Amino acid sequence: MKKIALFDTKAYDKEWFEKCNNDRYDISFFESKLNPQTVELAREADVVCAFVNDDLNRFVIERLAHMGVQLIAMRCAGYSNVDYHSGQGKLKFVRVPAYSPYAVAEFAMGLLLSLNRKIHKAYNRTRDFNFNINGLTGMDLHGKTVGVIGTGKIGKIFIDICRGFGMRILAFDVYPDPNADFEYVPLGKLFSESDVISLHCPLTEQTKHIINKKAIEQMKSHVIILNTSRGGLCESQALFAALKEKRIGGAGLDVYEEEAEWFFEDHSAQGIQDDTLALLTAMPNVLVTSHQAFLTEEALQNIAEVTLDNIDAFFEGKELVNEIK
């Protein structure tokens, strides 16, 4: 039986991979993230299955290839953490391009609704029998302008949701959809006219720090920025400075530039050493969540099924429709 080493395992990963495996593979579930220190755990494996914050750098990939691992099966869509070029010709890479675009788009709207109407604050107040509503004023979303950067699977669903709220849509994408029934505008116009800006593009050299000091200077003073894509899209220091100086209205962050060290784990007893993340998390107009936008039953099932199908296709010599190359 072929062996899979599954890194960064959480209880929900184990549950769904065990449900979907049907005794096809011998899966070892490791809680550790994959990185140069843990790569030796994959010594017996034919396949390595990794996630968003595993570190698949050149060393790790060359080491895995040397140990006889044949396939890296990413159980996520983004692969900015994978130096796949260094493995070309030695092993193959696959991913799960879409597991539930609805999960992420719906979560982005959830962040917006909570932040705008201060639902997270109201929840804390009423649990303490504080029924005062001072300071909880929001704005009507109806008639406001939302700027969507990246109009792929998730961006388009988010646009549909925003339309349901009666919002005006402005979009930016380097590959605009010619059949789109919404308006594409240059990035500068999107920055200056939007009341809400939501990021739905991948992290690439071009998009790194797409939200930086210069971009923020063009925005409305009450703009709410939503990032459910990748932390590196926002320059954290610039975002923090703008929030502190009240040059923007708020931020909903499901991802963070340096999240790999902190997200998905419980640090409540020790606290964290990342001052920017600690300060952002403590700000009244910021809502930080721990990369959970994908976390629905449907998405977890799709992740497990598509990952195992990708692995089947590899061993059966079929076309790798989800290959990273």
Residues found near ligand NAD in the complex (CB under 6 A): 77-78, 98, 101, 104, 149-155, 172-175, 200-202, 204, 206-207, 228-230, 254-255, 291, 293-294
Residue 34 or 111 having the CB closest to ligand NAD: 111
The structure tokens listed for 20 are: 């979907």
| Full strand arrangement of the beta sheet holding 168-172 | 183-184, 168-172, 145-149, 196-199, 224-227, 250-253, 286-288
Q: Could you tell me which of 260, 210, 252 has the C-alpha nearest to residue 235?
A: 210
Residue 201 or 223 having the CB closest to ligand NAD: 201
Least separation in angstroms between residue 219's CB and ligand NAD is 17
Residue showing tokens 């199908």: 309
User: What's the rounded Cα separation, in Å, for the pair 259 and 264?
Assistant: 9
CA dihedral 133, 107, 227, 149 (to 10 degrees): -120
Choose, from 200, 230, 235, 257, the residue flagged as catalytic: 230
Least separation in angstroms between residue 321's CB and ligand NAD is 15
Residue 210 or 248 having the CB closest to ligand NAD: 210
Per the CB < 8 A criterion, the answer to whether 120 and 169 are in contact is no
Q: How many CA atoms lie within 13 A of 98 on its CB side?
A: 9
Catalytic site residue 230? yes
Choose, from 209, 235, 257, 259, the residue flagged as catalytic: 259
Residue 201 or 239 having the CB closest to ligand NAD: 201
Least separation in angstroms between residue 264's CB and ligand NAD is 11
Least separation in angstroms between residue 24's CB and ligand NAD is 25
The residue nearest ligand NAD at its CB is: 152
Residue 25 or 256 having the CB closest to ligand NAD: 256
Least separation in angstroms between residue 324's CB and ligand NAD is 13
Residue 255 or 311 having the CB closest to ligand NAD: 255
Taking CB atoms within 8 Å and a gap of at least 24, the contacts of 306-311 are 306/96, 306/99, 307/17, 307/49, 307/73, 307/75, 307/94, 307/96, 308/17, 308/20, 308/21, 308/24, 308/25, 310/73, 310/94, 310/95, 310/96, 311/2, 311/4, 311/25, 311/47, 311/71, 311/73, 311/94
Least separation in angstroms between residue 46's CB and ligand NAD is 27
Catalytic site residue 259? yes
Which residues carry out catalysis? 230, 259, 291
